[in-house]
Amino acid sequence: MTESFASFMARALHDPVLGYYANQIRAVGGSQGDFATSATLSPLLGQAIARWIKTSSVHSPDICDVIEIGAGNGMLMAEIQRCLGWWQRRCFRWHIVENSTILREQQKHRLGKSILWHDHLEQALTACRGHAWIYHNELLDAFPVRLIQYHEGRWHEVYVTEDSKGHKEQLQPLEMAPEKQSHFSAIAWQPPTANQRCELHESVYDWLNGWLPLWHSGSILSIDYGDVFPTLYHRRPRGTLRAYFMHQRLEGLEIYERPGRQDLTADINFTDFQQWMESAGLNCGWSGTQADFIHKHVRGASGPMVDPYGAGGAFKIFAHERMK
């Protein structure tokens, strides 16, 4: 069996029966999880997002729906609601977009029955009539990527073959419509070093184009790790792709060893992401590091979450607006 790496990653993470998010993921953070998110490490992010929602709603009080996409174990939304207080959180309708049955059960246990759950963002936006405050934390890094490698003077795509001895990689010339290539800065990189690898988040691009036409007003907060291009690949000739298993970081051929039983992730190319959002007519109202965002919204915040040389600097936050 031979398939593109993007197809392999999609199956390994999101297959409805054997995929990691459908079957294997049991806990986020802690000794039993494969990885920790910023929301499980500290309440500061939830406090900052609560302040962001409160401030944003002052200017648009008619927007009464809040959507979290990919809510993990529900800890982030729980902290946001706690910080808003009993009365103010009742002013909003709360939605979660989640297609992992295991995580949805954890969310229900933590948050109760007052949340509206949806399988897709399009469903949530329809329920909100297109007007909502939206946020997501460490979501985009779990989207399948097209893995490319510069070989013999041109870009090739990595394909995966599986036999009785395990998984092997093959290179095939990259095929993509010229009009779509312009949306990915890595393809135009001149000159990359020989055998440089990059990830193309084509699935994120397609996902955005699917739901953005249904979103009419509000703001969206995007939180993830990554960097601008080409800084993203500085001293990273093998790209940013890696796996996590029981808090161990795995690279190279080790990412194929436990398909469906370990997390796979790649950093976000924020040069591409910003271009896609701007092309959709969205205004970037604010951008910076997670540390900057927390300092802006939480007075006196300190600790690892606001460390500019740790998680506070590695994670970037973008607030894009679509106002009436």
Is 158 a domain residue?
Answer: no
Is 316 a domain residue?
Answer: yes
Nearest Cα residue to 157 out of 307, 300, 2: 2
- Sequence length of the chain is 324
The pLDDT of residue 41: 63
Report the alpha-carbon distance of residue 211 to residue 205 in Å, rounded.
11
Torsional class of 204: left (φ above 0), alpha (ψ -120 to 50), beta (otherwise): alpha
| For residues 225-240, average pLDDT | 96
The pLDDT of residue 166: 85
pLDDT confidence band for 236 (50 / 70 / 90) = very high
Report the alpha-carbon distance of residue 101 to residue 109 in Å, rounded.
12
What value does the mean pLDDT of the chain take?
92
The torsion angles phi and psi of 169, rounded to 5 degrees, stand at -105, 145
Is 135 a domain residue?
Answer: yes
Asked whether the whole model's pTM tops 0.85, one would answer yes
pLDDT confidence band for 115 (50 / 70 / 90) = very high
Domains contained in the chain, number? 1
Residue 44's domain comprises 17-141+202-322
Is 306 a domain residue?
Answer: yes
The CA-CA-CA angle for residues 213, 225, 246, to 5°, reads: 115
What Å distances lie between residue 98 and 67, 105, 123, 128, 252, CA to CA?
11, 10, 11, 16, 30
127-153: per-residue pLDDT in tens? 999 999 999 999 999 999 999 999 999
Report the alpha-carbon distance of residue 160 to residue 268 in Å, rounded.
22
Percent of the chain's residues with pLDDT above 70:
91
For the cut 90, the answer to whether the pLDDT of residue 307 exceeds it is: no
Is 6 a domain residue?
Answer: no
65-92: per-residue pLDDT in tens? 999 999 999 999 999 999 999 999 999 9
Least trusted range by pLDDT, from 20-34, 96-110, 285-299, 304-318: 20-34
The pLDDT of residue 25: 64
Torsion sign, CA atoms 59, 61, 67, 71: positive
Is 191 a domain residue?
Answer: no
CATH of the domain at 48: 3.40.50.12710
Structure token pair of residue 95: 């939605």
The pLDDT of residue 178: 92
Is 213 a domain residue?
Answer: yes
Is 123 a domain residue?
Answer: yes
| For residues 95-112, average pLDDT | 94
pLDDT confidence band for 31 (50 / 70 / 90) = very low
Residue 275 CB burial class (10 angstroms; 0-12, 13-18, ≥19): middle
Measured torsion, CA atoms of residues 152, 158, 162, 163, in degrees rounded to the nearest 10: 0
Torsion sign, CA atoms 292, 91, 322, 282: positive
pLDDT confidence band for 314 (50 / 70 / 90) = confident
